[in-house]
A and B are shown apart, each in its own frame.
Chain A
Amino acid sequence: MFLNIAVAALQQGLCYGLVALGVFISYKILNFPDLSVDSTFPLGALVCVLCVNKLRINPAAAILIAGIAGAAAGSVTGLLHVKLGISDLLSGILVMTALLSVNLIASRLIDGSPKIIISYGKTIFGGIMPKIFPGSAYKFGVLALLLAILIIGKIAIDLFLKTKMGLTLRATGQNAQIVTSMGRNAGNYKIAGLAMANAMVSMGGAVYSQWTRYFDNQSGQGMVVIALASVIIGCAVFSALPIVKGTTAVIVGAVIYGICIYLAGFFFSSDYLKLIMATLFGIVLIINDRLKREKTQKKAEAKKNEISA
Chain B
Amino acid sequence: MKSLLKLSGVTKIYNQGKIDESSVFDNFGFEVGKGQFISIVGSNGSGKTTLLNIISGNAVPTSGKVELADADGTMRDITKAKEYVRAKRIGRVFQDPSLGTAPYMTIAENLALAENKGKRAGLKFALNKKKTDYYRGLVEPLGLGLEDKMNVAVSSLSGGQRQALSLVISTLTPLDLLLLDEHTASLDPKTSEIIMRLTDKIIREKNLTAIMVTHNLRYAVEYGNRIIMFDKGKAVVDAAGEDKEKWDINSLLKVFNAISIECGN
Show the binding face of A for B, using Cβ within 8 Å: 160, 162-168, 170-171, 174-175, 177-186
Contacts and interface: CB of A to CB of B under 8 A. Distances in A.
A174 B105 contact: yes
A265 B259 CA distance: 74
A165 B120 CA distance: 9
B159 to A, nearest CB: 14
B170 A181 contact: yes
Given A174-B102, A178-B100, A181-B170, A167 B126 contact: yes
Contact of B121 (A164, A180, A181, A186): A164
B246 interface: no
B125 A175 contact: no
B122 A182 contact: no
B162 to A, nearest CB: 11
24 contacts: A160-B123, A162-B126, A164-B122, A164-B123, A164-B124, A164-B125, A165-B121, A166-B126, A167-B113, A174-B104, A174-B105, A175-B101, A177-B99, A178-B99, A178-B100, A178-B102, A178-B113, A179-B84, A181-B91, A181-B92, A182-B87, A182-B113, A183-B117, A183-B118
Contact of A182 (B82, B117, B120): B117
Given A164-B119, A170-B104, 16 more contacts: A162-B125, A164-B112, A164-B116, A164-B124, A164-B125, A167-B105, A171-B113, A174-B103, A174-B104, A177-B94, A178-B113, A178-B169, A180-B83, A180-B87, A185-B82, A186-B84
B27 interface: no
A168 B121 contact: yes
A71 to B, nearest CB: 16
Contacts of A160: 123
A177 B121 CA distance: 17
B153 to A, nearest CB: 9
| Main SS class of interface, A | helix
Contacts of A184: 84, 121
Contact of B123 (A165, A175, A182, A185): A165
Given A180-B87, A182-B116, A186-B84, A170 B124 contact: no
A156 to B, nearest CB: 11
Contact of B84 (A162, A166, A167, A180): A180
Contacts of A186: 84
Interface string B116-154: 111111111111000000000000000000000000000
B44 interface: no
Interface string B160-183: 000000000110000000000000
Contact of B126 (A163, A175, A181, A185): A163
B109 interface: yes
B74 interface: no
B118 A167 contact: no
A183 B122 contact: no
B104 to A, nearest CB: 5
Contacts of B169: 178
Nearest to A172: B102
B76 interface: no
B228 to A, nearest CB: 24
Contact of B102 (A165, A171, A180): A171
A181 B123 CA distance: 21
B103 A175 contact: yes
Contacts of B118: 183
B98 interface: yes
B88 interface: yes
B237 interface: no
B125 to A, nearest CB: 5
Contacts, number: 82
Contacts of B99: 175, 177-178
Contacts of A164: 112, 116, 119-126
A166 B109 CA distance: 11
A184 B102 CA distance: 14
Contacts of B85: 183
Contacts of A178: 99-102, 113, 169
B235 interface: no
A175 B97 CA distance: 11
A164 B117 CA distance: 10
Nearest to A161: B126
A244 to B, nearest CB: 15
Nearest to B123: A163
Nearest to B84: A180
A92 to B, nearest CB: 23
Given A164-B126, A167-B105, A177-B99, A183 B121 contact: no
A82 to B, nearest CB: 13
B125 A183 contact: no
Contacts of B119: 164
B114 interface: yes
A167 B123 CA distance: 10
Contacts of A165: 121-123
Nearest to B87: A183
Contacts of B82: 185
A177 B103 CA distance: 12
A177 B100 CA distance: 8
